[in-house]
Chain A
Amino acid sequence: MIHTDIVIIGAGAVGTAIARELSKYKVDVVVVDKRDDVGGDASKSNSSIICTGYDCPPGSLETAICRSSRMLADQTVKELEIPFNVCGAIMPAINEEQMNILKDIYDDAYKNEIFDVDVVSGKQLLDMEPELNPETIGGLYIPREAVIDNFLFVVAQAENAAENGVQFLLRNEVKDIQVENGKVKAVITDKETIQTKYVINAAGLFCDAIAEMVGECDFVVKPRKGQFFILDKNTNCQINHIIYPIPTPTSRGKLLLKTIHGNILCGPTAEDLEDKEDHSVTAEELAGIETDCKKLVPNINFSDAITQFAGLRPNRIPAGFHIGFGKTEGYFGISGVRSTGISCSLGISRYVVKKLQEGGVKLERNFDFNPYRKAIPRFSEATDEERDALIQKDPKYARVICRCETVTEGEIVEALHRPVPPTTLDGIKRRLRAGMGRCQGGFCSPKVIDIIARELNVPPESVDKNVPGSYILTGISRQEGGDHHA
């Protein structure tokens, strides 16, 4: 039995940001998540954009939160050493009809007080982005749109929150919320009972099921799948801005950008589904990404694709941000954060804490809070002199485990001994990019499995790819009874 003041359900971008924000106060916080790692579902599989809020619905809570989030991002990425690039976005038009749609978006941007959005000429856009469709006649320039390492964004906040006292319980699936006399009493997972005064529901795609546990679900959440392509860093056709298509009334459409690590990303699709586990990619939708992205950047070369993936955005019906206390005392719900979860998470965390205080939660500032988190030194980004120094300090920094992304054993060992450490192959991949390059882990994964097993002192066959049950090895070869997953 664990006793705490606040349980946050969900360790995605939103839950983790709230955890870090609450670690600034003298309050006990436990974050639970059913997955193997922080980073959630939608938070790990998305386009990695931190947006300004230029196209959010004017006057909405989402707009206010998104706008303030973008400001908070500048400070947070410095405190936590998170890779972040304010590359700016463009939205090109190839005909007058499209230019007219842009005028509405421009007007909305001004209603949202994003005054740095500008209308620019086709020539200027082509100067900025030479690979753009040469038929471009003009478009929007949104200079503060940015890309982030969306995995490290969550990991860094989790590490910092943990260093400031937050407890993370991963691989814990919430089964029930105990309510007594109209008041939250405990959160029950498949492994633990956590007595608590407050529960914050940041379960994203599954926030309806959690809300149902306290009988407060007057909405449904449906998954909206987004499929993406990632291209090799070496691909010839390069871009430097986020390139947005002209949105349709139902979808923002498929964009192109260069990720923080230099790969071209194309997507997402928008497919409304029922199955919240369906992360499959399909030939038809991937072909659709090719067609649509080539309209924006004709020379983009999909034969350089190194991977495809799909994420599920939580589509609340009815839509809209819903953040606040429920009728059950101690229950605080967050729903409706659909496609701006990464972008809005920092603003949501501030908003939630204010709402908690207004709702009578006594939060006393903890002035011992340390806002800083040091990143793992990256061999691939270091100069020769820095590399030499790293190796002199720890020879494991000379041993390159992932040859595509140049990730060393030193980095992997360090990641495994951090607060909120990874325990899976994908946990290492998301933190360090080992296995994220062109060979997709073919070379490094056997080595990474052994390093995880060695450092965590577990048998190699217990190392999962990601979620519980995603085992990689079935046992020791040629050994009777060595079969772990019989």
Chain B
Amino acid sequence: MREIKCDVAIIGAGPAGLAAALSAKEHGAKDVLVIDRDTDSGGILQQCIHAGFGLSYFHKEMTGPEYAAVFREKCDQEGIRFLFDTMVTEVRSAREIICSSTEQGLVKVYTGASILAMGCRERTRQNLRIPGTRPSGIFTAGTAQRLINRQNEMVGKSVVILGSGDIGMIMARRMSLEGAKVKAVVEIMPYLAGLTRNKVQCLDDFGIPLMLSHTVTRIMGHKRIEGVYIAEVDDQKQPIPSTEEYISCDTLLLSVGLIPENELTKGAGISTNAVTNGPEVDQRMQTVMPGLFACGNVVHVNDLADNVSIESELAGKYAAMYAAGTLPEAKAQLNVIAGEGVRYVCPHHVAVTDEEAVIRLYFRVSEPGRKTILKARSGKKEIAAREVRRVSPGEMDHIDIHTQDLTGDDVVICAEGVK
């Protein structure tokens, strides 16, 4: 088995891995190695040929490949090493990774610190247990996106989309542009799952109906899908039989959520959070295993690549410090708790160190609402508050806290005014 040494090893060359790599280099890691199973960098951005990236990070609108290319060019300038066509099969510890490479065979990587940046996968029809037959023509939205945008292969002509996640709405527009008829986007919740801007740009502009509080109750067709039954759901999300109607289609796309891809994480002996399905991290993006960091959608599913980049820069910075032996030791660890109106917060912990810093806590509210006060408390003390015009579970919010305000008690985040 070949052996490679580096200061910081990063698993995944998507938006998280690229930003982490650059940041690690900037913060003193000499030898940064990025490992990816694909033949090029960018991860899922390679198939995201639509615009909408970079608005907050670069203050200009870019496509996914353009956004990734900016990071990649900088990586190349900085001499960051990439190992493509290589699958990590095992994270033995923060300092030892095994991977299988088409060029080099089985490789053992010895590293000073590691960063998990594997991204996420899509929830499936089977996760939802949609009843009916099992014909062809049922795709997760991301799979269809890959086929159309990367492989130049069209997946169908007459489409129903279940779930109003961002990829689903973007694919509604994409399929329409490719000449398909998108008959409906069906969402079980009474509100949109993805970003409002995507509803406007991808559904409204193309005259595609969005059916809230509806779901697919049955899939029909033996060989290729021939249609679906849809029905309105009640408050308990149970279909109302009298509302059931048939829509013929040759394609069903699913945009029903993403699940962080944490098989390597679990293999390393790190458990995942029940709400986010990702490893718990502190504000430095360090997992419970010292020297093993995680960032991007592997930790929690983000709605914008721009947020992933910002979060991943922290992972890169602190991984470089860990590798150099300069990461401030945590004197204590505080929990960050999702309080009233909040579904989860990331990071999950605050490591108390001598470093004074602003910590940005990302979170999602549990229900949509207007005029909401976002608050952070440390014990009984309010340490941050911010009023926002509206909140939605589909759009991540954040609140900044200062380390010097921490009282030593757990930090609780609330969204008051949310129903």
Contacts and interface: CB of A to CB of B under 8 A. Distances in A.
B106 A306 contact: no
A280 B143 contact: no
Interface stretch (A316-324, A363-371, A471-479): A471-479
Contacts of A446: 143, 146-147, 150-151, 153
Contact of B147 (A234, A397, A473): A473
Contact of B155 (A399, A438, A443, A473): A473
A478 B176 CA distance: 11
Interface string B128-157: 010111111101101100111011111111
B126 interface: yes
A461 interface: yes
Contacts of A286: 129, 131
Q: Which 10 A-B pairs have the closest CB atoms?
A: A469-B223, A465-B136, A400-B87, A470-B136, A388-B106, A307-B126, A477-B154, A398-B102, A470-B223, A395-B102
B335 interface: no
Contact of A384 (B85, B98, B156): B98
A443 B120 CA distance: 11
B143 A474 contact: no
Nearest to A391: B105
B131 A396 contact: no
Most chain A CB atoms below 10 A, which of B85, B222, B250: B222
Given A280-B133, A466-B136, 15 more contacts: A306-B126, A387-B106, A388-B1, A392-B105, A398-B85, A398-B106, A400-B37, A442-B124, A442-B142, A446-B143, A468-B223, A470-B224, A473-B153, A476-B154, A477-B153
Interface in A393-440: 395-400, 403-404, 406, 408, 438-440
A38 to B, nearest CB: 19
Interface in B277-330: none
A450 B151 contact: yes
A433 to B, nearest CB: 15
29 contacts: A280-B219, A281-B134, A283-B129, A283-B131, A286-B131, A305-B127, A306-B126, A388-B1, A396-B102, A397-B100, A398-B85, A398-B87, A400-B37, A403-B37, A439-B121, A442-B139, A442-B140, A446-B150, A449-B153, A460-B153, A467-B222, A468-B223, A469-B223, A469-B224, A472-B155, A474-B154, A474-B155, A474-B250, A476-B154
A391 B100 contact: yes
A305 to B, nearest CB: 7
A76 interface: no
B277 to A, nearest CB: 12
A124 interface: no
A426 B269 CA distance: 33
B105 A442 contact: no
Given A467-B223, A469-B223, A282 B131 contact: yes
Contacts of A384: 1, 98, 106
B61 interface: no
A77 to B, nearest CB: 28
B101 interface: yes
B134 A279 contact: yes
Contacts of B37: 399-400, 403
A240 interface: no
Given A446-B147, A474-B156, A281 B131 contact: yes
A403 B87 contact: yes
B119 to A, nearest CB: 11
Given A234-B266, A305-B126, A442-B142, A472 B100 contact: no
Interface residues of B, number: 52
A159 interface: no
B250 to A, nearest CB: 8
Given A439-B122, A467-B223, A472 B137 contact: yes
B392 interface: no
Contacts of A460: 151, 153
A388 B126 contact: no
A445 interface: yes
A398 B100 contact: yes
Nearest to A379: B100
Given A282-B131, A440-B124, A470-B135, A475 B154 contact: yes
Contact of B105 (A283, A398, A482): A398
Contact of B122 (A442, A482, A483): A442
A172 B106 CA distance: 44
A140 to B, nearest CB: 32
B103 interface: yes
A441 B126 CA distance: 11
B148 A477 contact: yes
Interface in A254-292: 277-283, 286
B126 A442 contact: no
A472 B136 contact: yes
A466 B224 CA distance: 10
Interface in A52-71: none
B416 to A, nearest CB: 31
A478 B178 contact: yes
A306 B156 CA distance: 25
A233 to B, nearest CB: 10
B161 to A, nearest CB: 15
A388 B89 CA distance: 13
A136 to B, nearest CB: 29
A441 B254 CA distance: 13
A277 B75 CA distance: 55
A328 interface: no
A190 to B, nearest CB: 16
A281 B143 contact: no
B325 to A, nearest CB: 30
Contacts of B151: 446, 450, 460
A151 to B, nearest CB: 16
Interface in A286-317: 286, 305-309
A443 B121 CA distance: 8
A208 interface: no
Given A234-B266, A476-B152, A476-B154, A395 B103 contact: yes
B41 interface: no
A308 B106 contact: no
Contacts of B136: 464-466, 470-472
Nearest to A392: B105
A478 B151 CA distance: 12
B125 interface: yes
B86 interface: yes
Most chain B CB atoms below 10 A, which of A280, A307, A395: A280
B101 A398 contact: yes
A478 B180 CA distance: 11
Contacts of A282: 131
Contacts of A468: 223
A35 to B, nearest CB: 12
A307 B132 CA distance: 13
A333 B103 CA distance: 55
Contacts of A403: 37, 87, 261, 263
Contacts of A466: 136
Contact of B135 (A398, A440, A465, A473): A465
Interface string B382-411: 000000000000000000000000000000
A397 B132 CA distance: 37
